[in-house]
Every structure is written in C-alpha cells, then in structure tokens.
C-alpha cells in the first residue's frame, strides 16, 4: 500500500492506494467518530462492492446504513441528492455518523455535498472505484451537483477524512470509463509534470492493460500532484484553477449535449485539445506539441475533437464557468507541455476559431 498526505493542517488526511483495501476496515476505524457509517453508492457499484465493504465494517463492530442511488451523471441532481438525506434521517444518523461514498466521481461529489450539509456537516470518507475518482475527484474536497444551466454549479468545498483507493476495483470498470480516467491522469502531465507526461508516453499500454504496478504508479503521481495543488490553494483562489485544463470547453460539451451523453473525461480530452489549439494560436505551443498531445489522447482511446455545437453555443455555455470574473472568461491554457497558465486575455475570435478547428 502507498500512502500520501493532503497537507491541510488540522484537516489533513491520508490517501491510501493499494490492492484489497475494501476489506481493510482497520484502515477506516481510526477515522470514525462513532461506530456508525452511512454508505452512499449506486446501482452499478453497489451490487459489486457494497456487500464486501459492509461485511468488513460490520465484522469490526460498525453499524452500517446505506442508500443505493440510480447510476449516472444525469442523476447528479437535487432529487437524487435528497434520497441521501431521506436515508440519513430515516436511519436516524447523527452528526457524528460518518458518510462513506463508495463509487465514481458522481457518487463521491454527491456524497460529499450531502455530508457537508447534513446537520451542518458530518464526517465523510471517499472510497473511489473509478480511475477518474481515484486520481482526481475523491481528493481535494470539491463536492457538487449539476444544474440544467451548468455543471457542478451547486456545491461546497468539504474535505474527506480519508481516501481509500482500492485499485482492484478497477478490474470491473468498462474500458470507456478507464479511458475517461486517463484523460485526468494525462492532465497532470500537461499542466505541471513534464516527467510524468514522458512516463505516460512510455507506459500507456500497461496502463490500458490495467497492470497493477502501472496503475498504482499513475494514481500515486496523479494524487501527489493534486494534493500539492490543493494544499497550496484549497478554495481555488489561484493555482488550483490550473487543474481545470480543458474543463471550461469540456463542461460546455457535457451541458450542451445533455449530462451523461459524453463522459466527463472524454469531454475533458476534447476540451484540452481546444485549449491546446488556442495556445498554439497565441504562439505558445507549436504543431509538434499538438501532435504529441493528440497522439497520447488517441492512444488512450479518447476523443480529440468536440461535437459540432457551433462556436457561439460553446461560448454561451462557457460564459457560466466558475472562473468567469466580472463577466470575463478566464481559461487554462498551456505555455508549454507541462506548464499551464490562467489567461483572461485571449481574443474572443481566437477562442471561437480554436473551437471550430477542434470540432466535428
């Protein structure tokens, strides 16, 4: 097992990465206030892993309640969130009960948001079961639900007490979901870790084949990058925004097509190519940099072009982005491969041209 620390003072927490961790109630017990947990999962992950986790906790004397939500991004909404509160109240969960989110980023984001609100805040633990959740969404305390007008628009910063990433759970993940997770892994290389970018170029096949050593390394390096950024800028006053490379374009794809049509990671991959193309137009990247980025996404079986919504529609959707300040769109762009910047001065015509160049 590998362990990293998210250095947030008295709210610091560990990330354990390894195999067979679902059965390790001993890793969870030190973080419980009382021997009660409420597990939030969904109807895909629940049948696979809820029984094992519940059995391990109950064998350790923990009382377990659970709720199984409908699967999918389309259910990352108020009515589904409310089902978590229904369960917590029906089971008479207390403020000291620990909420455990068992699933991908959708379950983690909703479970975390519920934990931030229930009785004004209950402790929570992330047990991510997708690659995307293990390298990104379970770490850093961003929690949210979607609104029809914008993705992740309603939420809170609320840190977990522990992240437990069992890489064995990735064996049941559909190939398309594994690729979606790789988009966020590649993101860390592109924004701040050129050595990791090279490692990914050399090790993409073992990753796609789910070799445990390769996965564990990629998850560890990704989480280390994320933990460093979060520790420096927990509430995204500056540097943390760099983690959103490709996301402003990508969120427009997700919202524009309807949630769940494209996977989040797929939208991020195509969105990253739009950001890279805009960076080229600004003179920061060259054709070889773009070719290198396209090649890596394509080897990861990710889309490198967005759907044809029209640049005007993209820009309208992007105007809801959380990085908009005083009405001005700020984008994460690339000064070089491995060095992202926040940029608010790109001419609208260049943004539109970059979108058009990367669609269809």
Active site members: 120, 142, 184, 226, 236, 240, 244, 247, 251, 264
Q: Which is nearer to ligand NAD, 5 or 96 (CB)?
A: 5
Does the footprint of ligand GLY cover residue 244 (CB under 6 A)?
Answer: yes
Two structure tokens written together for 316? 């309208």
In sequence order, what DSSP letters do the residues of 54-75 get, joined into one string?
Answer: HHHHHHTT-EEEEEEEPPSGGG
Does the footprint of ligand GLY cover residue 234 (CB under 6 A)?
Answer: no
One residue of 25, 27, 44, 230 binding ligand NAD per CB under 6 A:
44
Comparing CA positions, the residue from 220, 223, 225, 248 lying closest to residue 338 is 225
Is residue 303 within 8 Å of 270, Cβ to Cβ? Answer: yes
Does the footprint of ligand GLY cover residue 183 (CB under 6 A)?
Answer: no
Query: Residue 259 gets which letter from DSSP?
Result: T
To ligand NAD, the closest distance from the beta carbon of 246 in angstroms equals 11
Does the footprint of ligand GLY cover residue 76 (CB under 6 A)?
Answer: no
Comparing CA positions, the residue from 188, 144, 173, 164 lying closest to residue 322 is 144
At a CB cut-off of 8 Å and minimum separation 6, what does 91 contact? 38, 65
Q: Return the SS3 of 329.
A: coil
Question: Exposed (0-12), middle (13-18) or buried (19+): which is 175, by Cβ within 10 Å?
Answer: exposed
CA distances in angstroms from 354 to 139, 281, 296, 306, 316, listed in the order given: 31, 8, 20, 11, 15
One residue of 36, 224, 240, 343 binding ligand GLY per CB under 6 A:
240
Q: Which is nearer to ligand NAD, 221 or 290 (CB)?
A: 221
With residue 203 as reference, give the H or E element that holds it: helix 194-208
Sign for the pseudo-dihedral over CA of 155, 156, 160, 163: positive
Does the footprint of ligand GLY cover residue 140 (CB under 6 A)?
Answer: yes
- CA geometry: angle 22, 2, 105, nearest 5 deg: 55
Within residues 137-176, the interface with ligand NAD by CB under 6 A covers 137, 140, 142, 152, 169, 172-173
Is residue 266 within 8 Å of 303, Cβ to Cβ? Answer: yes
Within residues 233-292, the interface with ligand NAD by CB under 6 A covers 264-265
To ligand GLY, the closest distance from the beta carbon of 189 in angstroms equals 15
Binding mask 51-90 for ligand NAD (x = CB under 6 A): --------------------xxx--x--------------
Q: Which is nearer to ligand GLY, 31 or 157 (CB)?
A: 157
- The entry of ligand GLY, ligand NAD, none that residue 244 binds, CB within 5 to 8 Å by partner kind: ligand GLY
Please count the residues of this chain forming the interface with ligand NAD, following the rule CB under 6 A: 30
Stretch that binds ligand GLY, among 4-12, 64-72, 240-248, 326-334 (CB under 6 A): 240-248
Stretch that binds ligand GLY, among 157-165, 239-247, 268-276, 334-342 (CB under 6 A): 239-247
Does the footprint of ligand NAD cover residue 132 (CB under 6 A)?
Answer: yes
Please count the residues of this chain forming the interface with ligand GLY, following the rule CB under 6 A: 6
Is residue 212 within 8 Å of 19, Cβ to Cβ? Answer: yes
To ligand NAD, the closest distance from the beta carbon of 136 in angstroms equals 4
To ligand NAD, the closest distance from the beta carbon of 254 in angstroms equals 8
In sequence order, what DSSP letters do the residues of 16-62 get, joined into one string?
Answer: EEESSGGG-HHHHGGG-SSSEEEEEEETTHIIIIIHHHHHHHHHTT-
- Calculate the dihedral angle through the C-alpha atoms of 127, 132, 138, 140, rounding to the nearest 10 degrees: 160
Does the footprint of ligand GLY cover residue 264 (CB under 6 A)?
Answer: no
Residues that bind ligand NAD (CB under 6 A): 42, 44-45, 48, 71-73, 76, 103-107, 109, 129-130, 132-133, 136-137, 140, 142, 152, 169, 172-173, 177, 180, 264-265
Residues that bind ligand GLY (CB under 6 A): 136, 140, 142, 240, 243-244
């Amino acid at each position: 097992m590998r362990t990293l620390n998210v250095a947030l003072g008295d709210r610091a927490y560990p990330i354990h990465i390894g195999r067979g961790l679902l059965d390790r109630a001993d890793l969870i017990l030190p973080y419980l206030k009382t021997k009660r947990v409420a597990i939030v999962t969904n109807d895909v992950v629940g049948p696979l892993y809820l029984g094992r986790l519940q059995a391990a906790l109950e064998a350790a004397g923990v009382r377990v309640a659970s709720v199984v939500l409908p699967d999918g991004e389309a259910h990352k909404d108020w009515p589904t969130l409310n089902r978590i509160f229904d369960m917590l109240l029906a089971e008479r969960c207390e403020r000291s009960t620990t909420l455990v989110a068992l699933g991908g980023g959708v379950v983690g984001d909703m479970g975390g948001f519920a934990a931030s609100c229930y009785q004004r805040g209950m402790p929570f633990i992330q047990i991510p079961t997708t690659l995307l959740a293990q390298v990104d969404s379970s770490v850093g305390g961003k929690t949210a639900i979607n609104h029809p007008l914008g993705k992740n628009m309603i939420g809170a910063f609320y840190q977990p007490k522990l992240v437990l990433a069992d890489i064995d759970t990735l064996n049941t993940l559909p190939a398309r979901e594994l690729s979606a997770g790789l988009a966020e892994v590649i993101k860390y290389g592109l924004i701040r870790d050129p050595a990791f970018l090279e490692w990914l170029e050399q090790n993409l096949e073992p990753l796609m084949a789910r070799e445990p050593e390769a996965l564990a390394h990629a998850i560890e390096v990704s989480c280390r990058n994320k933990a460093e950024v979060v520790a420096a800028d927990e509430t995204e006053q500056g540097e943390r925004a760099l983690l959103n490379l490709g996301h402003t374009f990508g969120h427009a794809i997700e919202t524009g097509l309807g949630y769940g049509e494209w996977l989040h990671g797929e939208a991020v991959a195509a969105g990253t190519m739009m950001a890279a193309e805009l960076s080229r137009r600004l003179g920061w990247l060259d054709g070889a940099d773009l070719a290198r980025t396209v090649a890596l996404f394509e080897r990861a079986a990710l889309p490198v072009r967005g759907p044809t919504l029209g640049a005007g529609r993209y820009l309208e959707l992007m105007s809801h982005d959380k990085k908009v300040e005083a009405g001005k769109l700020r984008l994460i762009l690339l000064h070089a491969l491995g060095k992202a910047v926040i940029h608010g001065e790109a001419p609208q015509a260049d943004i539109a041209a970059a979108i058009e160049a990367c669609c269809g």
